[in-house]
Structure 1
Amino acid sequence: MHDDVVQAQYAQLRSAAIEVLDAMPGAADSSPQFHDALKSLRAALEGETPPRSLPTRSSLDPFEHSLVARSYVGQRAEPISLAERAVELRRRLEGDRDLEDRLPGEPSRNVAVTELRAMIVAGLLEELAARLSPGAAFGPGRSGEELARLAKDLADELLAQTFVGE
């Protein structure tokens, strides 16, 4: 009796999943990985062996890619290498204004932090830099070096504004 209930539930789940697949709109902008996943799901639901797809480069490698930033190409989000992320952030920082520079009538939008918070943020940036540099945490890879240098530079800039930097 228990097997009959399980089989009935499985059949109901299978039917519902196939209905979802059939009802999905054409996903012309979807990634190849999405299409492969749908094919595998349909094959599994139909009792066939899912086609084996080769691993794709779009999966994020934390030793090579930023985990928090993407580059948008059309409707797709593409991974950004750690080196590319460092270049982009440095470029943005170079275009930043001085703390006191403002257009006439522009409100101050600078963030003020206490000395203690600045030291804690700097400490976290130093920890991040150590983790992105080749060594025990990051391994022998050198992909994170530019981002590590940027984090260290920002930490030094913050610390220079505290009693630690005096």
Structure 2
Amino acid sequence: MTDDRVQTEYARLREAAIGVLDAMPEVEGPPERVDAALRNLRSALAGGTSAPLDTARETPDPFEYSLAAKRYAGRRAEPITLPQRAADLRRRLDGDRGPQVRPSDGPSSDVVITELRAMIVAGLLEELAARISPGAAFGPGRDGEALARLAEDLAKELLSQTFVGE
């Protein structure tokens, strides 16, 4: 490798690394800039080309945002962070009545499912909780912890109503 080429590669790597370092202090800022900086550093190290740091991703980061729900502000859909999604769902559940408690203004609107279905749904909730907890599937991020706890709580509630929970 010639000295000029080494200098050019070094300059590219240095710029990519500085981009990562410049983006990291903005913890409260949009994660897209950090993601773009990390992708650029990886690309530079692999010998590829870099993209501009201000590129926004169309899909929200699944390690930080809910993929199944959005919050609407006018006609614009805004992503919801996983901790906020967990808090919203927990708040809604806290306002719910218990199973088999009939509302005073009419018939119960409980949904009845078989034990087998309850156990399968609980198993799926446990799988979801394992996947969004810090670890092999979700990585070191902690944004999914509150949602994982909610899924685990719902799984326990469902299982407690089956022969498994007796």
Q: TM-score range by the shorter chain?
A: 0.5 to 0.7
Shift of 1:57: 6.3
2:164 partner SS: helix
CA contact (8 A) 2:82 2:147 kept: yes
- Separation in structure 1 between the aligned mates of residue 140 and residue 71 of structure 2, nearest angstrom: 26
Q: Does residue 130 of structure 1 match 2:130?
A: yes
- Separation in structure 2 between the aligned mates of residue 151 and residue 55 of structure 1, nearest angstrom: 34
Change (3 A) 1:142 1:109: same
Shift of 1:97: 1.3
2:128 partner SS: helix
Change (3 A) 1:146 1:79: same
- RMSD of aligned Cα (Å): 1.6
What amino acid does structure 2 have at the position aligned with 1:103?
A: S
- Separation in structure 1 between the aligned mates of residue 76 and residue 59 of structure 2, nearest angstrom: 13
Superposition map of 1:63-82 within 5 A:
63-82=63-82
- Separation in structure 1 between the aligned mates of residue 67 and residue 76 of structure 2, nearest angstrom: 16
Give the equivalent residue in structure 1 for 2:20. none
**What are the ranges of 5 or more consecutive residues in structure 1 without an aligned counterpart?**
1-51
- Separation in structure 2 between the aligned mates of residue 57 and residue 149 of structure 1, nearest angstrom: 28
Shift of 1:133: 0.3
Shift of 1:83: 0.3
- Separation in structure 2 between the aligned mates of residue 132 and residue 144 of structure 1, nearest angstrom: 5
Superposed CA offset, 1:74-133 (max 9, x none): 1100000000000000000000012323123x2322100000100000000000000000
- Separation in structure 2 between the aligned mates of residue 57 and residue 91 of structure 1, nearest angstrom: 30
CA contact (8 A) 1:58 1:78 kept: no
What amino acid does structure 1 have at the position aligned with 2:70?
A: R
Superposed CA offset, 1:28-48 (max 9, x none): xxxxxxxxxxxxxxxxxxxxx
**TM (normalized to structure 1)?**
0.65
What is the percentage of aligned positions where both structures have the same residue?
Answer: 67
Q: Does residue 121 of structure 1 match 2:121?
A: yes
Aligned length: 114
Give the equivalent residue in structure 2 for 1:60. 60
Larger Rg: 1
Superposition map of 1:31-110 within 5 A:
54-56=54-56, 59-99=59-99, 100-104=101-105, 106-110=106-110
Change (3 A) 1:95 1:137: same
CA contact (8 A) 2:129 2:148 kept: yes
- Separation in structure 1 between the aligned mates of residue 53 and residue 75 of structure 2, nearest angstrom: 23
Shift of 1:53: 8.2
